[in-house]
Amino acid sequence: MEIIRKGAWPSQSTTYIMYKTIIIVTFLLFGVPPSKAGGNNRLTDRLDSILRLQSLQTEAKMREINIIKVRMNRETNMEKKLQFCDQLYQAYHVFQFDSAMTYVEKGLNLARHRNETYYADNTIRKSELLAIGGLYSEALQTISTLDITRFSKRQRFNYYLTHFRIYSYWSDFCNDAIYAPRYREKARENLRLAMPYLDRNDRDYEYYQGEYYGYILNDQVGARRHYLKAIATTPENSRMRAMACFALACTYSAPADMDLYERYLVMACISDARSLTMENMALQNLAMYTLEHGHDNLDIVDAQRYISISLENAKFYNNRLRIIEISDRLPVIVESYQQQLGERNTVLHNTLIAISLLAVFLIAAVGFIFKQNSRLTQSRKKLQTSNNRLSEMNERQSMLNEQLHDLNEKLLETNKKREGLVRLYIDLCSRYINRLKKQQTLVKRKIKANQAQELLTQLSSERLSEEDATTFLSRFDRAFLDLYPGFPQELNALLQPEYQIMQLKSHALTTEQRIMALVRLGVNESSEIANLLFYSPQTIYNYRSVIKSKAKNKDTFEAEVVKLCTVIGGERPN
């Protein structure tokens, strides 16, 4: 990464009693583990699948590198050899430390006395590699040999940015109260010096703006804004995407932001894995986060796996400093893993003892139960027969009372709804009678004025006004929802979870819901629905096709809609 951031027994069978008791004891001993929380499980699962394929990705990358090596060895032109050295350095930079250093040295040897630009670029790269390896003084000595007076704008930016990285690595390595603040201040100063030379058209512009806002201005909100832009404009399999995700995760350090921290940390790990960045911190931090915030023992296993992969990557990269860092974290995870195994063994041991004692108890209980059964069988049969008859009578009476009460409630509710529907019907009739009167007046006036052709034209083109249409639809929605208040929820139950239809207003249906409401009322023809909703038949057909595509069962969807809300009324869902 870029920078390290911080009943009654006698009536039951013996087998059933044993089975039930064992279940209870096991439940008390083991408990029920909490479910794994968070909305980041899908991202974590994707990361795990990518990590499983890492060896195949590594083999593919090595094949690509070997092709470049063969082409370089065949090349005789010095300028093109330098270009191949650049390609190999970029391929090895965060993939293999020693190989990256090898091709930096080759680039230096080829460029010395031949190409000043390539020589300066490779010197800057060598300094960064030395800093990654923990050789901070050597890194500064190497880069200090350069004369920046003849540098291009890009080279000056890389020059100061490399100083920023060296001092940042050095500060994180010291991690004390004396030297770390000094190096951190020097890092900030060099980042401040680098920013004027950053080209706004540079593909990494937004990322370094985020660094500037975070390190120099201490503006986390501004930094997040730039990091998000960097994430949006970089491919997932790029190192810059990983760096931006990791940096963004580090801005969410508050306890209330842990979900966002985990989300962007996992995204950084995914980009690291896809870009085969062996020199990284994200997977280490994810291991520690999983250990500290895990919900069950499976999280400890995940943490151990992540830290092991990080160690393997560090060994592959051959970064001794990173191996030491991981070695400091590994014992904590191993200790937790061993503690988990110890606790599991203790639980198993206690369970075995409990089951053994339970077996002895059950054997004694079985004998007692059989004796009691032989004494109580006759009396219990007579008593049970009487109780059963009385219970049946009570249940029947109770059911009849409940049914009668429910019927009364439904009748009252139905009457209220019918009264409401009558009022709605009368209101609509009043509106359309008034409209007919106005039309009649218009016809008389036009005929008297001998404007029959104009009247014919006006009547032919006249359509239902938007206000009338809105009024009709609003009244329809209210009337339908009064009849079937649970219709929107029952309709959503037929749709896939990601395609749920949300109501914008409590007493208003969406267009899709109105179409399905008419289907529920028996209006099946798209042309009829189109007339009622003021759409074309093709539009209605398209709506129905889209809704059907979102259904759990597309073949029987509309048949199931017709069966919705078979009972009128009921309380409106919240």
> What DSSP state is assigned to residue 534?
T
- Which of 220-224, 358-362, 567-571 is predicted with the least confidence, judged by mean pLDDT? 567-571
DSSP string, 17-85: HHHHHHHHHHHHHH--PPPPPSS-HHHHHHHHHHHHTHHHHHHHHHHHHHHHHHHHHH---HHHHHHHH
pLDDT exceeds 50 at position 404 = yes
The DSSP code for 212 is: I
**Position 80 pLDDT exceeds 70:** yes
Rounded to whole angstroms, what are the CA distances from 329 to 6, 289, 439, 441? 14, 12, 86, 90
Using DSSP's 3-state secondary structure scheme, residue 505 falls into coil
Beta carbons within 8 Å of 454's beta carbon, 6+ residues apart:
446
State how many domains the chain has: 1
Beta bridge partners of 495: 551
pLDDT recorded at residue 23: 42
Q: 505 to each of 420, 488, 574, how far by Cα in Å?
A: 20, 12, 12
Tens digits of per-residue pLDDT, 221-234? 999 999 999 999 99
Confidence class of residue 200 from pLDDT cuts 50, 70 and 90?
very high
Distance CA 241, CA 207 (A): 9
Handedness of CA 270, 275, 276, 281 (dihedral sign): negative
Identify the pLDDT of residue 340. Answer: 57
pLDDT digits (tens, 9 = 90+) for 257-273: 999 999 999 999 999 99
- Residue 425 pLDDT: 57
User: What would the two tokens of residue 363 be?
Assistant: 């054997």
Token output for 500: 């749920």
pLDDT value of position 226: 97
Residue 522 belongs to a domain with what CATH number?
1.10.10
pLDDT at 11 over 50: no
The pLDDT tens digits of the residues spanning 441-495 come to 878 887 888 777 777 776 665 555 677 778 888 888 888 888 888 899 999 999 9
Q: Does residue 78 have a pLDDT over 70? A: yes
Tell me which of 307-316, 371-380, 416-425 is least confident. 416-425
495-552 residue pLDDT tens: 999 999 988 787 889 989 899 999 998 888 988 888 888 889 999 999 999 999 999 9
Write phi, then psi, for 391 (nearest 5 degrees).
-65, -40
pLDDT of 88 > 90? The answer is: yes
Task: Compute the average pLDDT of residues 373-401.
Answer: 81
Contacts of 522 (CB under 8 A, 6+ apart): 562
Domain-located, residue 516: yes
pLDDT, tens digit, 9 for 90 and up, residues 121-131: 999 999 999 99
Q: From the centroid of its chain, how far is CA 257?
A: 15
Does residue 61 surpass a pLDDT of 60?
yes
**Which of 11-15, 91-95, 159-163, 206-210 is predicted least confidently?**
11-15
Please name the amino acid found at residue 250. Answer: C
Express each pLDDT in 99-143 by its tens digit. Answer: 999 999 999 999 988 889 999 999 999 999 999 988 999 999 999
State residue 569's pLDDT score: 57
Mean pLDDT of 357-361: 82
User: Which of the 8 DSSP states describes residue 319?
Assistant: -
- 442 within domain boundaries: no
Q: Which amino acid is at 51?
A: L
Q: Kindly state the percentage of the chain with pLDDT values over 70.
A: 82
pLDDT tens column, 283-328: 988 988 888 887 666 778 888 889 889 888 888 988 777 677 776 6
Between CA 105 and CA 113, with CA 110 as vertex, the angle to 5 degrees is: 115
Minimum mean pLDDT range among 165-174, 248-257, 326-335, 381-390:
326-335
> Which residue(s) pair with 551 in the sheet?
495
Instruction: pLDDT band for 281, please (50, 70, 90 cuts).
Output: confident
Q: Is the pLDDT of residue 31 over 50?
A: no
Task: Please indicate, yes or no, if residue 183 is contained in any of the structural domains.
Answer: no
Q: Is residue 222 part of a domain?
A: no
What is the reported pLDDT for 223? 96
Q: Are 120 and 157 in contact (CB under 8 A)?
A: no
In a domain? residue 383? no
Average pLDDT, the chain: 83
- Of the ranges 154-168, 316-330, 377-391, 474-488, which is most confident? 154-168
pLDDT of residue 155: 95
Angle at 555 between CA 553 and CA 560, to 5 degrees: 70
Closest CA to 158 of 130, 195, 189, 129: 195
Q: What is residue 572's DSSP assignment?
A: P
Which structural domain range is residue 498 located in?
Answer: 485-562
Residue 515 lies in a domain: yes
CA 189 to chain centre: 38
Cα Rg of the chain, angstroms: 38
Q: How confident is the model at residue 29 (pLDDT cuts 50, 70, 90)?
A: very low
Q: Match 């017709």 to its residue by tokens.
A: 562
Residue 213 belongs to a domain: no
Cα distances (angstroms) measured from residue 278 to each of 159, 168, 495: 24, 19, 44
Average pLDDT rounded to a whole number, residues 397-411: 79
pLDDT band (50, 70, 90) for residue 383: confident
130 domain-assigned: no
Q: Which residue has the higher pLDDT, 235 or 31?
A: 235
